[in-house]
Structure formats: structure tokens, C-alpha cells
Structure 1
């Protein structure tokens, strides 16, 4: 990580390593506003098109004996259905949430993998607005499911308290539960995805682009350092692909866990 602290002279006014500002990538300004259409916004749109085309191509001729494309799609679907929805929600209620959880998983996974796919190389979820948006969707659904099951706001909030508590401690526990359910959980859900994607992308930039900057100095000692930097960058790329899958899985798994908790009888 010594390369992280290295400052190399580039063109006038430029230096290495990158800063968070380096990830602001506007494509064009929106006329009459202070807003811009950015590269991550384009990637989000591309991911929606790619996923729609993938599902259409692999299911348009769905058959009892699946072809190769249908089989692969079914494996991803079964993973979301059985490994996420049914395991976390239970066999009684899980099916109605499978489309949502499947969509959530594949959408996050593709946008994460953009960080290591040549030509894209920018994980969309490294922009905090996108994890926040997905978290809001999860939490609106989660609380709506809980309210419908409880029947009223009072019963829903009352279900946050464990049974058997003495009366004097209930206000304190209710305060802690409200913070957990309405602040801590959504905050950590969004920040976990954002933090992992942003940090991983920064590491790849440091080692791969940093190696290129070292190589361009034409200093033999620094050029020699660039080779192991690129090798480590390649190894980190493979590791980052695993992290990207795990973060998509964890986000969908936690969403299913919260939905399962809202449906539980003791809630």
C-alpha cells in the first residue's frame, strides 16, 4: 500500500493517487439545472437493458427440458428463490417475494461486476445515491409488510418490543428498537454496499493505474515497481469479483431477512 501515498508529477495540475472527486464523471449537463447526467447513471440504464434482454432471450422459448441459456437463468433464479427467499422468509410466505429478491440480486450483481468488466470498470454501487435508493425500496416494502400483518401502527410498533419486559424498561427498549429499525438498519445496509464497492474500486485504481504512472516515469527503479503492482492489481481484480458477488448476495439476503422478520408471528 506504499503506492497509495505516492505523489507522482503528471501533467500540470495533476497528481496521483486519485481522490473521491476523480469519480465524479458527468457526461453532459442537464440544461437549465445544476445537475448532470453521469457515467454511473448511464451504467444503471445499461444494466436495466442488459438484464431485460438476458431474461427475454433465455425465457422466450421456455421448455420443460431447458436449453443452455434457460438452464443458466434457472440456476440464478433457483439460487435467489431457495438460497435467499425461502431460507430467510420461510416456506409459507416466500414465493410472493421471489421476483423482488431475484431482481434485486441480479441488478446489484451486474452493477457491481461493472467494476471489473473491461470497457465499464466502474461499479455503479460505488456512488452512494444508488445504494440509498435500493435501501429505501427495501424499507418501504419491509415496513409496509409489517404494518399489513400487524393491522395498525400501534400494533406494529408494539411488536418491536420483546414479550415479558417489565413496564419500567419498555420506553428505553422502544427507543433503542426505533433507532435500530428506522436508522441503524437502513444506514448500514446502504453503507455496507457502497463502502465495499468504493474501497475495492479505489484499490484497483491505485495498483493498476498507479503502476502505469510509475511506468511512465521512465525511471528504471520505478518501472520495476510497476510490474508487481500490475500483478497485484490482477489478483485484486479476481478477489474484487468475489467481493462484488458477496455484496449483492448479502444485500439481498438482509432484505429477505428483514421481510421475514416483518412476517414473523412474534413481530
Structure 2
């Protein structure tokens, strides 16, 4: 059990020994550094910075001395980049366009993956993307690239025309459909990208803490439970399963977010969407 988990689990038991499930207050911890300034940092901000630092360090160590015949660390780094190139850049965007947006796709996938995985890392134990602002930052970066790619490919007027006016639709219908497309493409999409990522990581964290909090209650803090304490075995097993499930969800959410990034860019550079 991690130190962070222990603190969260302990908060689930009140002074009278009864059980209280974890709540959303866990995602808004008190500040640690630069208190009462615009640069105030709490535990989640520090976890984000640590995730980025570790990610950059791993790629630096893998690629700092690139050779024609790669060593083990270089081969792993190249395999990671090749995964993004094959699954997102080449398959969705094509080789020419995909090469242009490889840095964005690579940074998006591994950045989200690293921040998702902090939810199951001992002593960190919270996903850095479980707070809305971080998924929103990724989504806004995607949409800046989406608009930039479309304007670069078609020019401003043609890009917005392609996005707002559906082909094959009678012109009078555009009076209704154009505002709907405007809201859908430029508001709903970035919000849905953000919310999908945030909610998956938030709910997963709450379920894990709930399972381990219940285990702590049945085994440690609960009073006069008697035979009911056997349920601690069930909640402990559920916590382990949820941890493994969170690991899969962390990878899947990074994959889906990056895939949608590539799809949206492809739609912006195509003649019709």
C-alpha cells in the first residue's frame, strides 16, 4: 500500500469507526509550494511535472547516442516512435501528412500515457489527467493543430466552408445545419475529448480507493465486525483487479485520444468531411 493510498484510505474511516467512501475532495489537495500565488503547486501538479520529466529522461537516454545499429535502449525508443508512426500517422494521415504531425501525435500519446499511469504508480497514486484542466490543455493543442492543418491545406475560407457546410445537402438546410456543425466541430469535440479522458481516469481512481478503503475498514478500522471482516478479502481482490483494469484504461485512453487527434486532422486536410 502506498503512502498516498494510506492517507486517502484513512480518511474513509471516521472517528466512530464507521465507513465513509472517498469523494471528489481528493482531487483538490492543498497547495505545497508558492502558496497564494498564480504559480501555486499542489501534489497533482507535482505529479504531472514528474511524469513529464521521467518521460523526457527516458527518450533522452534512449536516443542521445543514436547509432545505425541500435542498442537496447535506442531500439525501445525507436519501437515506441514507430508505434505512433504506424498506428496514427501513416494509417490515418498518410505518409506525407503524417510526417508533418508526428511530433504532435508522439507527444500527445506518450504525454497522456505517462500522466494516466501515475494513477497506479506507488507513492503517486493519482492520474494527472483526472482533473479537467490537463485534458483540456491536450484537447486545445489538438484543435489548434486541427485548425492550422485545415487552413494550411485549403486556406481559411475553404477550410471553414468544408467544416460547416455538408456536401450534398440542399442549401436551405444549411441555415439549420451550419450552426449545428459549428457547435459540434469547434465546441463539442474538444469538450468531449477532454471529458472522456478526465472521467475515465477520475472514476477509475475513485473505484480503486473505494476498494482499498473498504479493505482497510474491514481489516483495520472497523469495530465489532466479526465474521463480516471476511469481506475484506473480497474488496482487496477487487482493488487488485481495479488496479490492473486502470492500467489497461490508461493505455486505451491515450490510444483513443491520439487516434481521434489523427482523425480530426485528417478531416481538416481532406476535401470533404
**What TM-score results when the alignment is normalised by the length of structure 2?**
0.89
Q: Does structure 2 conserve the Cα–Cα contact (< 8 Å) formed by 1:128 and 1:194?
A: yes
Q: Does 1:255 align with 2:255?
A: no
Report the counterpart of residue 233 of structure 2 in structure 1. 227
CA separation in 2, counterparts of 1:20 and 1:244? 20
CA separation in 1, counterparts of 2:205 and 2:98? 34
Could you tell me which of 41, 61, 73 is aligned with 1:69?
A: 73
CA separation in 2, counterparts of 1:166 and 1:9? 63
CA separation in 2, counterparts of 1:38 and 1:104? 23
Could you tell me which of 200, 207, 212 is aligned with 2:204?
A: 200
Unmatched 5+ residue regions in structure 2?
1-11
Q: Does structure 1 conserve the Cα–Cα contact (< 8 Å) formed by 2:35 and 2:41?
A: no
Unmatched 5+ residue regions in structure 1?
1-7
Query: What is the CA deviation profile of residues 113-135 of structure 1, one whole-angstrom value per residue up to 9, with x for unaligned ones?
Result: 11111121111101111001111
Q: Does 1:143 align with 2:150?
A: no
CA separation in 2, counterparts of 1:85 and 1:193? 21
CA separation in 1, counterparts of 2:107 and 2:252? 16
CA separation in 1, counterparts of 2:102 and 2:155? 24
**Number of residues of Structure 1 aligned to a counterpart in Structure 2:** 260
**What TM-score results when the alignment is normalised by the length of structure 1?**
0.91
CA separation in 2, counterparts of 1:59 and 1:200? 34
The 4+ residue runs of structure 1 with deviation greater than 6 A are: none
| Superposed displacement of residue 94, structure 1 | 0.6
Where 1:10 maps in the other structure, the secondary structure is coil
Q: Does structure 1 conserve the Cα–Cα contact (< 8 Å) formed by 2:19 and 2:214?
A: no
